[in-house]
Chain A
Amino acid sequence: DAGVTQSPTHLIKTRGQQVTLRCSPKSGHDTVSWYQQALGQGPQFIFQYYEEEERQRGNFPDRFSGHQFPNYSSELNVNALLLGDSALYLCASSLVGLSEQYFGPGTRLTVT
């Protein structure tokens, strides 16, 4: 049973660039959530996708956008990167209506 997978593992970008991170949910799951974890902090909720629509959004600017595909996989896009966007980006999947979320290994984004 495949767990949550994310790609790439690491990414280095320059300030002002755009980045796309990818996530495949655990087999059988239909809901994907994205979190940003700054160094030494707990993860912060960015948004959640279900049925290819953004269902919930945390306190993040519009530079952060996402997409969910018919196979439930998801992308996180960040435009106009800032140094403060450097963080570990975690994807979590779940089954709609259930509380347990299962996390992927994360993508470490460094903005220089």
Chain B
Amino acid sequence: AQTVTQSQPEMSVQEAETVTLSCTYDTSENNYYLFWYKQPPSRQMILVIRQEAYKQQNATENRFSVNFQKAAKSFSLKISDSQLGDTAMYFCAYSRGSGAGSYQLTFGKGTKLSVIP
């Protein structure tokens, strides 16, 4: 079974600084997707960024970028120029790309990020 591990339960960052959240995963598949979701106190889960395993280029979305290390099964999220609105729980998630269990998300336990003014 696939597992997703987030080893940092809580992190904090000063406003305008950069922070990196860590995620590792375990899979024997070659075709899969990785995601970072953000869940603010309002509890709505918001997709931040997606990475396809077959793409070597790291995904970026504005201030959010990932460092995808396929061999190491590592998928970290970098948030640049942190803003107060970035305060939230961040979940790393995995899904298979094909076959049984495809597109069902497996989540880590989350990292609580606090942006300090």
Chain A positions within 8 Å of B, measured between CB atoms, are 31, 33, 35, 40-45, 48, 56, 58, 88, 90, 92, 94, 98-106
User: Please, how many angstroms separate the alpha-carbon atoms of A40 and B89 in the complex?
Assistant: 10
B interface residues with partner A (beta carbon < 8 Å):
4, 33, 35, 37, 42-47, 50, 52, 91, 93, 95, 97, 100-110
B97's closest neighbor in chain A, by CB?
Answer: A99
The 6 lowest CB-CB distance pairs between A and B, nearest first, are A42-B107, A103-B45, A99-B33, A45-B104, A105-B44, A42-B109
In the bound complex, CA of A99 to CA of B43 (Å): 21
Are B104 and A58 in touch, CB under 8 angstroms?
yes
7 residue pairs bridging A and B, Cβ less than 8 Å apart: A40-B109, A45-B104, A56-B101, A99-B33, A99-B50, A105-B43, A106-B45
Question: B45 and A43: CB pair below 8 A?
Answer: yes
Q: Measured between alpha carbons, how far is A83 from B26 in the docked complex, in Å?
A: 32
Give complex CA distance A45, B103 in Å. 11
Residues of B within 8 A of A41 (CB): 109-110
